[in-house]
Amino acid sequence: MLDSNQQARIEDLAWKIRYHIIEMTGVGKAGHIGGSCSAADIVAALYGWKMKHDPQNPHWPERDRFVMSKGHAALAQYAALAACGYFPEAELRHVKKLNGMLQGHPDLRRTPGIEANSGSLGQGLSIGVGMALGLRLDHLESKVFVMLGDGELAEGQVWEAAMAAANFKLDNLVGLLDCNRIQATGEIAQRFNTYPFTEKWQAFGWQVIEIDGHDVAAVCAALEQADQVSGRPTMIVAHTVKGKGIPFAENTAAYHNGILTEDLYRQALVDLEQKRRDETCCG
């Protein structure tokens, strides 16, 4: 169970992640704000509370693994890794720098703490299946967490991996479905309707837990519930808001990979600061 201090720390990390997402996006350059912000609370719960990991020893064999299958949300993961101390937060200023450490999509050879390369959608869950099989062969208790996007579910390979995980009874594998309802070109329901999700994952043999993906206590409870299941994988279907925390970017495809003007950049940071003041005074 989460105590109120722990919850506050996770919420603080989530806030920090969002602030960094805006800073990394900067002015006049494209950045995947929408899908990074929708994932922020879950990423914070994983790195800030749930996962066994050691920023000083990124290759610790007994660590839990996190794979960002929706690789375009790398900004959320970079922010979390920096906040945890995998590398200095100052590095975040150099996202997408020529041949730099922080690429547009996750690259395990370049960035400490990144566990898999992603960016071509649909592959992360399969990588997670391989990791879960390997960890089980080594009798390690470590878990594998894979974050997927709801738009990503149109990729057929996701369902190949879903079948494989159930076939191999991988109860050390947990999926986190960031259901922000919006793909790059618009609402999933309008563009390419892949609903319903919960029934699909259940039919594929997974335990499914449906939550509000911005309710940190609910995210943590779902992660604990996933520990209890035996003989099958768990999918946490997290309902989220694309662009969450950045009011003008919420629930719109425009900031899937959006460019901030100077005014909007300032606005986003002001909104975040305001939110933090509101929470500090009333929370």
Partner 1 sequence: MLWLNQRKAYGESLVRLGRQNSRVVVLEADLGKSTMSCFFQDAFPERYFEMGIAEANMIATAAGLSLTGKIPFAGSFAVFATGRAYDQIRTSICIPGLNVKICGSSAGLSDFGDGSTHQSIDDLALMRVLPNMTVLSPVDAVETEKMVMAMAEHDGPVYLRVCRNDLPVLTDPDVPWQIGQITEVKPDGDIALLATGVMVSLGLEAAEQLAREGIRLKVVNISTIKPLDADRLVEVLRGCRAFVTAEEHSVIGGLGSAVHEALSGRLNLPSAMIGIADQFGTSAYNWQELLAHYGLTSEAIAKAAMRLDRETAR
The one among 7, 30, 154, 160 contacting partner 1 by CB under 8 A: 160
Under a CB-based contact definition with an 8 Å cutoff, are residues 207 and 226 in contact? yes
Q: How far apart are CA 151 and CA 158, in angstroms?
A: 11
Under a CB-based contact definition with an 8 Å cutoff, are residues 262 and 270 in contact? no
Q: Nearest 10 degrees: CA dihedral of 152, 244, 258, 125?
A: -20
Instruction: Write down the residue that tokens 């547009």 correspond to.
Output: 104
Shortest separation between residue 255's beta carbon and partner 1, angstroms: 25
The one among 3, 61, 228, 282 contacting partner 1 by CB under 8 A: 61
Q: Does 164 contact partner 1 by CB under 8 A? A: yes
Q: Does 89 contact partner 1 by CB under 8 A? A: no
The one among 120, 193, 261, 280 contacting partner 1 by CB under 8 A: 120
Q: Does 174 contact partner 1 by CB under 8 A? A: no
Q: Does 51 contact partner 1 by CB under 8 A? A: no
The one among 52, 94, 100, 167 contacting partner 1 by CB under 8 A: 167
The one among 7, 26, 55, 168 contacting partner 1 by CB under 8 A: 168
Helices and strands in the chain: count of H runs, count of E runs: 9, 9
List strands edge to edge, sheet with 65-68.
65-68, 144-149, 173-179, 234-239, 207-212
Q: Does 170 contact partner 1 by CB under 8 A? A: no
# residues contacting partner 1 (CB under 8 A): 33
Which distant-in-sequence residues (6+ apart) come within 8 Å of 249 by Cβ? 33, 34, 37, 242, 243, 255, 258, 268
Please give the angle made by the CA atoms of 231, 220 and 80, to the nearest 5 degrees.
110
Of 34-42, 82-90, 131-139, 182-190, the window that binds partner 1 (rule: CB under 8 A) is 131-139
Looking at the Cβ atoms of 88 and 156, the one nearer to partner 1 is 156
Alpha helices, H only, 104-215 = 124-137, 156-167, 188-191, 197-203
Of 47-55, 129-137, 197-205, 242-250, the window that binds partner 1 (rule: CB under 8 A) is 129-137
Under a CB-based contact definition with an 8 Å cutoff, are residues 249 and 34 in contact? yes
Looking at the Cβ atoms of 67 and 246, the one nearer to partner 1 is 67
Query: Which parts of this chain interact with partner 1 (CB under 8 A)?
Result: 61, 65, 107-109, 115-120, 122-123, 126-135, 137-138, 156-157, 160-161, 163-164, 167-168
